[in-house]
């Protein structure tokens, strides 16, 4: 397993470099993106509609941003691909399509981009492909704007060694997730009238994300080795859960188990089976007191399934439950900087999935780190199982 620990570290360092790249974006482009969002989000009595146009893991990166918007603005209503544009589009009010497509060739995304254009709405695109269909659609539209990330996507065909460490588009999705969370800080600053062309809030947030991520490189190798030994060599089913922004990380992680040719389920899918011996439940919860995570863990343990939480809180009810069953070695604690450790302590429980104000507005330090950690775990899984990116691509939906 020592080689796998090195793979984990290399994959994590690589993702830290992905975050660092976000500092190299043209700040004029970042400022223009922020200013256009400020123009849309500035307080008015009218309702506003945001259409999140993305699929797969790109969608999950975008939905984190839509949650921020919904949590902070009372009269802004976000929709997703499950809510067709033509059903909700309202003339006479502000309508914004926000599209994310690394390749620019996702047919469902491009279809809804066309719908926004037909209706005359404003649209923004983040992509990695300046030659893609989405780029052309938005670039040629007078109410469209495009931001390009020079990032590798799942459609890349180069043979660089980094594909082993970040298979199937990890780079683009991670950069979108970090960028949108960081640029939201800049948007908030501009809404308060602090408009700096160098985007200091954006820059400091990206730097903070990178510093936090580098803590993952130094995680205890013995703990990781035990965790990988418990996680990977099994034939049972994987059930992965989480709520809120942790839930978005969990859903992206669950997709990757499919790419690894494992039988996996999202905890709250309609077709998710009951736990049985040999199954594994993987709850992702920064605070570790989430009602659903606790209920899921208790149910899994009662059925003889294994539970391997990903959390940041060593004093949570979830940790207490695992200790009671003698399973503390199956917990992995994703590190955060000391100044944030107080956010992830204590055993205060919630009895509903509805978010408190604290949860709504908390800085997403754990979620970014959990995303990086799980991406590195996927790189380890691919190496352990002998999967190459081409094989994973064939399993990609």
122-145: pLDDT as tens digits? 999 999 999 999 999 999 999 999
Same domain, 299 and 387: yes
**Burial (CB count <10 Å: 0-12, 13-18, 19+), residue 233:** exposed
pLDDT at 143: 96
pLDDT at 332: 97
pLDDT at 51: 94
243-282: pLDDT as tens digits? 888 888 999 899 888 888 899 998 877 788 899 999 999 9
- Residue 157 scores a pLDDT above 50: no
CA distance 22 to 58: 17
- Residue 55 scores a pLDDT above 60: yes
Same domain, 227 and 168: no
Same domain, 186 and 295: no
- Residue 351 scores a pLDDT above 60: no
Backbone angles phi, psi at 212, to 5 degrees: -65, -45
Same domain, 189 and 291: no
Q: Grade residue 352 by pLDDT with cuts at 50, 70 and 90.
A: very low
CA distance 349 to 116: 42
Same domain, 211 and 229: no
- Residue 200 scores a pLDDT above 60: yes
Enter the tokens of residue 171. 């780079």
Q: Which of 215, 237, 263 is the last residue of a domain?
A: 215
Enter the tokens of residue 314. 């060593």
CA distance 373 to 183: 22
Same domain, 197 and 298: no
Q: How far apart are the first and last CA of the chain?
A: 30
The continuous run of DSSP H or E covering 127 comes out as strand 122-127
Q: 159 in helix, strand or coil?
A: coil
| Structural domain range at position 68 | 2-215
Q: Which of 193, 215, 237 is the last residue of a domain?
A: 215
- Residue 190 scores a pLDDT above 70: yes
Same domain, 85 and 200: yes
**Percent of the chain predicted with pLDDT > 90:** 66
Q: Which of 162, 193, 215 is the last residue of a domain?
A: 215
- Residue 65 scores a pLDDT above 60: yes
Quick check: 240 and 267 in contact, CB under 8 A? Answer: yes
Q: What is the mean pLDDT of the chain?
A: 88
Q: 95 in helix, strand or coil?
A: strand
pLDDT at 355: 46
Q: 67 in helix, strand or coil?
A: helix
Section 294-311 average pLDDT: 96
DSSP-based helix, strand, coil % in the chain, nearest 5: 55, 10, 35
pLDDT at 141: 97
**Percent of the chain predicted with pLDDT > 70:** 88
Same domain, 207 and 302: no
Section 334-353 average pLDDT: 78
Same domain, 206 and 283: no
Q: 384 in helix, strand or coil?
A: helix
Same domain, 231 and 95: no
Domain of 27, CATH number, reads 3.40.50.10490
Same domain, 27 and 157: yes
Spell out a b/e string for 156-186, using b for 16 or more CB atoms within 10 Å of the CB, else e.
Answer: beeeeebbbbbbbbbbbbbbbbbbbbbbbbb
Q: Grade residue 167 by pLDDT with cuts at 50, 70 and 90.
A: low
Domain count across the chain: 2
Same domain, 227 and 261: yes
* pTM for the model: 0.89
Radius of gyration of the chain from its Cα atoms, rounded to whole angstroms: 21
CA distance 195 to 391: 47
pLDDT at 344: 86
pLDDT at 391: 53
- Residue 310 scores a pLDDT above 60: yes
pLDDT at 155: 47
């Amino acid at each position: 397993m020592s080689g796998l620990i090195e793979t984990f570290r290399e994959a994590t360092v690589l993702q830290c470099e992905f975050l660092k790249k976000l500092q190299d974006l043209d700040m004029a482009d970042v400022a223009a993106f922020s200013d256009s969002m400020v123009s849309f989000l500035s307080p008015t009595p009218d309702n506003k509609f945001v259409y999140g146009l993305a699929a797969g893991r790109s969608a999950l990166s975008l939905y984190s941003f839509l949650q921020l918007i919904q949590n902070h603005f009372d009269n802004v209503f976000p929709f997703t691909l499950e809510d067709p544009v033509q059903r909700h589009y309202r003339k006479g009010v502000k309508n914004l399509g926000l599209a994310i497509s690394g390749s620019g060739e996702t047919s469902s995304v491009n279809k809804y981009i066309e719908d926004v254009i037909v209706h005359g709405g404003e649209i923004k695109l983040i992509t990695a492909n300046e030659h893609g269909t989405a780029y052309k659609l938005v670039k040629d539209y007078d109410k469209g704007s495009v931001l390009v990330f020079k990032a590798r996507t799942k459609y890349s065909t180069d043979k660089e060694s980094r594909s082993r460490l970040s298979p199937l588009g990890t780079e683009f999705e991670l950069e979108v997730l970090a960028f949108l969370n960081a640029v939201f800080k800049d948007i908030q600053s501009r809404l308060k009238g602090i408009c700096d062309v160098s985007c200091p809030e954006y820059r400091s947030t990206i730097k903070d994300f990178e510093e936090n991520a580098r803590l993952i490189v130094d995680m205890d190798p013995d703990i990781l080795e035990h965790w990988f030994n418990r996680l990977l060599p099994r034939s049972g089913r994987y059930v992965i859960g989480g709520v809120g922004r942790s839930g978005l990380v969990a859903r992206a992680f669950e997709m990757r188990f499919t790419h690894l040719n494992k039988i996996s389920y999202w905890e709250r899918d309609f077709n998710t089976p009951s736990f049985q011996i040999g199954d594994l439940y993987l709850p992702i919860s920064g605070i570790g007191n989430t009602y659903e995570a606790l209920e899921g863990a208790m149910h899994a343990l009662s059925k003889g399934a294994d539970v391997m939480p990903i959390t940041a809180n060593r004093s949570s009810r979830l940790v207490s439950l695992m200790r009671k069953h003698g399973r503390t070695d199956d917990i992995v604690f994703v590190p955060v900087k000391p100044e944030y450790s107080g956010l992830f302590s204590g055993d205060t429980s919630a009895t509903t999935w509805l978010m408190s104000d604290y949860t709504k507005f908390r800085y997403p330090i754990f979620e970014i780190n959990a995303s990086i950690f799980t991406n590195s775990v996927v790189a380890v899984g691919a190496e352990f199982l002998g999967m190459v990116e081409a094989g994973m691509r064939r399993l990609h939906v």
